[in-house]
Structures are given as structure tokens and as C-alpha cells.
Chain A
Amino acid sequence: MKTKIVIYIIFIFFAFSKYSFSNDLKLENKINKNLRCLICQGQSIYDSQSDFAESMKLVVKQKIESGMSEEEIYSFFKIQYGEWILYDPQFNTKNFALWLLPILLFLVGGIIILIKFGVLKKRL
């Protein structure tokens, strides 16, 4: 019971906390980190110093200034260069296995542990 109360208090505590949103620069860096530099090997445009990355950074900056949201900017680049450019793979028909497989494995692992050690039968 005590534990439950503690958990409730924690949740209320968090619910009333305000979390400020990041400013433009932070957003810009966040977006830059999520875009792949297409001419480099495995670097984001944030980490790269190539000409391509530099010009991409400028495009991102302009798009933010023109008021586009993060998602809009991603889809803009996705249309231009394909999904390869996004470091954050979207959840769609192609990628659902990518997102769900690890979690599925986690659940399967849990079930195996429960069966192997008889916790299911004896404890609950």
C-alpha cells in the first residue's frame, strides 16, 4: 500500500511539473542529428563537415525560420532523398518489424523465464 501511495505521489509530482520546450537552436541541432549526410559514411549532417552537410544545415535552418514543423521538415527531406536520409526510421509497413521485434523478444524472454523457473505456477 505504501508503495502504491509513493508511486501516486511521484506521478502527481511529474504531472504538475512543467517542461519547457526547446528553442530554435536545439530544434535545429535535433533535426540535424536525425538527417544522414548522404556523401559521408555513416555520419549525420550535424557530425559531418562536408559541403553537402553544410548546405543541408542551411536548408534546415531556412525551413525552421519559414515556420515548418519538425515533422514537415523530415517529410520534405524524405520526398527529396528517400527514407535513407532519416536516422529515425518511421513506423510503417516496412519497418514495423524493426520496432516490434525487440519488444517481442523481450516478452518472449520474460515468458521463458516465468516457465523455466515455475514462477507462473507457484508464485501467482
Chain B
Amino acid sequence: MILNYLGNFALLFCLIISLVIFITSISCLNNKNFFLKKNLNELLFFKFFFAVLSFSSLIILFIISEFSNETVLNNSHISKPLFYKISGTWGNHEGSLLLWLLVLTFFAFFYYLNSKNRPTDERLLTILFQEVIILGFLFFLLKASNPFNIIYPVPKEGLGLNPILQDPLLAIHPPVLYLGYVTTSIVFSSSLAGLIKGNINNLWAKDIKKWVFISWTFLTLGILLGSIWAYYELGWGGFWFWDPVENISLMPWLSLTALVHCVLALEKRSILHSWTVILSIITFTLGICGTFLVRSGILNSVHTFANDPERGLYILFFLFFLIFLSVFIYFIYEDKFELNNKNLNLYTKETSIILNNWFVMYFLSVILIGTVYPIFLEVLSNEKISVGPPFFNKLIIPFLIPFLIFMSIGPNLKWTKNNYFSKKLKLIIIFILSIILSTLVSKFFGNSALNITILLAASFYLFIITIKDLIKKGFKNYSQTISHFGFSLLVLSILLNSIFSNEITSNMRVGDEIKFSDKIIKLQKLENTTEANFLKLIAYFKIEEKNKTELVLEPEIRIYDKPETITSEAAIKTDIFKDRFLVINLVKENEYLNVRYQEKPFMLWIWISAIIISLGGIINIFKKNEKQIL
């Protein structure tokens, strides 16, 4: 009980400190009096400390199942395993916002400690903008979604956590994703501060680059975790549904990807000043927009676990405030940008980075329009349409082909002068090679469309060239090469996966057998067991291949009691080259089970390639630190 008050008061202290920082940093800006310099990091630390205090009291409330707390009551129950009691803290709206706040205060503190080489007024301004964001979240937390609401009389048992959220991966997915989102707020604040002070130049780019890479790496990993979770928990073997909530996490990632490249161009060549600022603003707003759309329940999605229109309205207001503020600042201080009258050489890295940004922004606009268009159409004409995977595939795949080719050639060009023509022959030979390779692949397996073959060729091209670069360049610029290599591997794995996936669906009883290419799938027995918080029905399948290798797969059906839900747990056997995926489902009113067996090649490589992509980002963050030490 006392923890409820503790958490609440810690939040109030956060608010007070935040207001103090906000007001004093405004007055400091005018007086040019930097007395705050000494105290600011203490204040920022205490704010972070109180956020930690508040968050830990919520965690403890969840652990001891204190049902006088409304959040705990709605999202937990006594028999839930300890691990999910803890992860349940951020598996709900209030808790996840508190986590947002915690990460925000941490990064504000961390930024202040790590930005000593920036001008003091720019740092102060960054902290000021950061406080605006933190204040917004604090007011929202305290007013519209307080995690410490007290209920009296105290109920005996909680309502439970949605069973599909009771998963180890989903316990770490939101924190990782939030780390990514929240880091974009530093980029946002810093670019607005730099804009006001006229500091947007190559030195600024050099310093902010680290933050952009941190954010990008976390977002990549966060999306990956979510996708793996969706693969084994949600669907029948799909890992990306082009679902609104997934799209929303992908949009900031795309604009960050553009920003990663564009910051490099700004650092190395002093171009794209204003575009970098615009991208920073876009990235952060997309992140907030994501929170709004997910939490407001406007979107119809598999992932909408908590929604409330009133909260949506608040976030919408906050969002418009931030957009208005940044657009306002942008146009007032626009003339402070360094002008560049540089002419672009066609065969340079600059051009390829601009091309990258052009295409990435196109992908972003496809996803943005595909996600919000149905909402607007429904409001305006009351007609409901669905925008699903076919739409995105049709608009993205044709543009992905030139994108991949530019991506292969771009890194081989130099920043200023071209050395393109000397390498031309080699590049063409590799190109022809990859076309032959892709045609062979799709012919050999005999079922693929023309556009897929061309896309396959383009991704083979990128694949071969990045391998060549990795070998040739060695440790020079290897973070870029590794990320590009990972991306080519990702596209390749996804393509090969979609071409060669094979499946069979059937209704089976115990003792039944079905044939699938050269295999026999046999349902041997069923078993019932009782676990802590659910009933479990396990089916034992034996899969016999012709060369006598046997495989036992044990998919489950779980019947949770709080809240009452039935989930199917897929049995997945992961090998280097393919996943065997088996999921069962109850058929009503008879003893049959609905069985779907899938063979999905290269699944593992999809995950591995996403890890490789983020590895490139990690290397870049690390590399930067190394230079600073030296």
C-alpha cells in the first residue's frame, strides 16, 4: 500500500524537478548566466533517480501482487509466474508509459554527461526541449494514466495478463524498442537546439551520429524481437504481417535509416543540413505518432492490447504541439543554415546517399499512406477498406530492385571524385552472374514470378558485392559493409523463404498419418497436463523421412484461466537451412485436430541477418568511442 504512495510521490518529485530545470534553463538562456552548469547534472540525476524509484515501486507492487493498485489488478494475478509478474509491469499502458519516462530521464542525464564538447547553450537548449517532452509525458502519466491508482476495497484476485503476452521475448521487446524510440528524442532536441544556435554543421553531425546509431541499433533489434515473437506466437508461421502496429515501428526505423546515411553525408561533405534536421523531426514525431495510434485504439491490429480514446486525444494534442513547435522553430531559424552551393557529381557517394534517402522516403510514404489512408477514408466517406500485404508488396518490390542495385554500387564510389569507370567491368560481370544465379534458382524450383526473379537477381548482386567488399576492404569502413551485407542477406532469406515455403493442412485424429512430399507425418498421442496458470494439451507428432531420420514435434494448445483464452503454441524445429513448423488447433465438436505443417527454408537466416544489420550499427557506436579515447 505504501508503495502506491511512494511511486506516486516519486512521480510528483520528477515533475517538480522537471519544472525547475525547465524554468531555470529558460532564464539561463536569457541571462547568459550559467550557474546551472554545476547543478544541472545533479538535478537531472535526481529526476532519473525518482523515475527509477517510481518504476521500481511499480515492479514490487506487481511482484507482491498488491491488488489495491489498479494497474496490478488489471494486468496480473497471483498464480502467474514471477518472471511474467515482473515483465507484466511494462506489458500494459500505464507501466509502459512509466518505462518511457524512465528511459527519457535516463537519456537526458546521459546526454548531459556525454556532450561536454558541445557549446553550453546548445546543451542547455537540448535539455530544455528534452524537458518539454518529459513534462508532456509526466502530465499524461499523472492525469490520464496514473499507474498508482488505488482501489478500495482491495480485491482478492487480479484479472490476469493476456496470455499471448506471457512470453520471454515479449518481456524484453518493449524495453529495447523504447530505448530506440527515446533516443530519437535526443536527436530531435539536439537538432532543434543546433538549429536555433546555428550549429548544424559537420561537427554537430559527428557528435549526434553516435545517438542516431544507438537509436537505429535498438530499433532494429526491437523490431527483430517483435518479429520473432510474432513468428512463433501469433501467426501460423508468418513473421511480418504488414500489420498497422508493425508498420508503425517500421516507419521510424526507415526514417532513421535515411538519417543514418544523411548524417554521414553532413559529416563528411557538409551537405543536406536542413534535410538532416527535417529527418530528425520526422523520426521523433513518427515515434510519438506510433504511441498515439497504438494506444488510442484507432488502428485495427493484432497487437492492440490496450486502448482508450481519451488517452489518444491527449497524445494527439501533444503530438500536434510538438509538430507545431518544431515547424515553427524550423521556419524562424531556417536562415541560420549554412548555405551550400556545391554541385553534385553524379558518380559519387553523395549522390548515392541522396538516392538512398529518396528511396527510403518513398518506402516510408508507402507504409505511412497504406496505414493511415483507411482511417481517413472511413472518417470521410464512412467506407471501410483494408490495406494488407499485397498492397505493400506491389508498391515496394518494384522500387526495391533499383534500390538494391544502388546500394551495391554506392559504397564503392568515393565522396568527391569518381572511380566508377575503372571498376565498371567488374560490376557488370557480377551483375550478369547474379542474374544467371537467380534464374537458375527460380527455374530449378520452378515456381516463381518474373518480378521475384529480378528482385532475387538484385539481392544476389548486393550479396556478392558486399562479400567482395568485406574481403577487399578488410577493416576499412566495415560497419557499413557489415550492415549492407546483413541487409542483402535479409532480402535474400525473405525471398528464398517465400519462394520455397511448403505446407500441408489437414484434420487428424490420434493414429492418423498424412503424406507430405517424401515424409510421413503421424499423430501418435495426445496428453493433458496442468501447469501453474493454464491447462496444456500436447500432441506428439512423428515425422519420418525416407532416409530414416525421425523427428518428434510437440505442438501445444494452452487453455489459460485468467483471462480465459486458448492459444496454440507452435512446435518449431530450427535447422540451419529450414524450419519445420507445426501448429495444431481444436476443431469444434469432434475429436479431430486441425494440423498445419510447414517447411520454411532460411527462417534462421532472417533473424541472423537482422542481427548482422544491427551489428554494423553497434560497431559504429563502438568505433566512435574508440576515436574519442585516442
Contact = CB atoms under 8 A, between A and B. Distances in A.
Interface of A: 2-3, 6, 10, 13-14, 17, 19-20, 22, 26, 29, 33-34, 36, 40-44, 46-47, 49, 51, 54, 82-89, 94-95, 97-99, 101-103, 105-106, 109-110, 113, 117-119, 122-123
A75 B384 CA distance: 16
B585 interface: yes
B445 to A, nearest CB: 10
10 contacts: A6-B428, A19-B453, A34-B389, A42-B241, A42-B303, A46-B236, A88-B388, A89-B387, A113-B354, A122-B343
A118 B343 CA distance: 7
Contacts of A113: 354, 358
Interface stretch (B32-40, B48-56, B87-95, B360-368): B360-368
Given A36-B388, A98-B369, A98-B373, A17 B439 contact: yes
A87 B343 contact: no
Interface in B443-500: 443, 446-450, 453-454
B390 interface: yes
Contacts of A85: 386
A12 B515 CA distance: 40
Contacts of A41: 300-302, 304
B594 interface: yes
Interface string B374-389: 0001000101111111
Contacts of B588: 51
B386 A97 contact: no
A101 B365 contact: yes
A93 B302 CA distance: 29
B432 interface: yes
Nearest to A9: B432
Nearest to B243: A42
Contacts of A99: 395
Given A47-B241, A94-B385, A34 B362 contact: no
B241 A43 contact: yes
A88 B370 CA distance: 11
B432 A6 contact: yes
B377 A101 contact: no
Nearest to B436: A13
Interface string B273-310: 00000000000000000000000000111111000000
A11 B221 CA distance: 39
A87 B302 contact: no
B105 interface: no
Given A54-B594, A101-B369, A102-B365, 12 more contacts: A2-B428, A14-B454, A17-B450, A17-B453, A19-B448, A33-B390, A54-B587, A86-B386, A87-B386, A87-B387, A87-B391, A98-B377
B346 interface: yes
B601 interface: no
A123 B345 CA distance: 9
A22 B428 CA distance: 33
A33 B362 CA distance: 25
B69 interface: no
A14 B401 CA distance: 16
B408 interface: no
Contacts of A94: 377, 381, 383, 385
B362 A105 contact: yes
A60 to B, nearest CB: 12
B362 A106 contact: yes
B256 interface: no
Contact of B235 (A43, A51, A98, A109): A43
A43 B391 contact: no
B7 interface: no
B183 to A, nearest CB: 26
A110 B354 CA distance: 10
B555 to A, nearest CB: 12
A108 to B, nearest CB: 10
Nearest to B383: A94
A89 to B, nearest CB: 5
Interface string B234-265: 11101001011000000000000000000000
B369 to A, nearest CB: 5
A44 B388 contact: yes
Given A42-B301, A87-B389, A49 B346 contact: no
B435 interface: yes
Interface in B329-363: 343-344, 346, 354, 358, 361-362
Contacts of A88: 388, 390-391, 394
A98 B448 contact: no
B568 interface: yes
Contacts of A89: 385-387, 391
A46 B373 CA distance: 24
Given A6-B432, A22-B447, A101-B369, A33 B354 contact: no
A96 to B, nearest CB: 11
Q: Which A-B residue pairs are the 8 nearest by beta carbons?
A: A87-B388, A88-B390, A117-B344, A84-B384, A47-B235, A42-B301, A102-B366, A106-B362
Given A94-B377, A109-B358, A109-B362, A34 B301 contact: no
Nearest to A101: B369
Contacts of B443: 17
A59 B243 CA distance: 25
Given A42-B241, A87-B388, A102-B362, A117 B343 contact: yes
Contacts of A122: 343
Contacts of B448: 19
Contacts of B304: 41
B174 to A, nearest CB: 19
Nearest to A98: B373
Nearest to A117: B344
A19 B448 CA distance: 7
Contacts of B587: 54
B343 A33 contact: no
B251 to A, nearest CB: 13
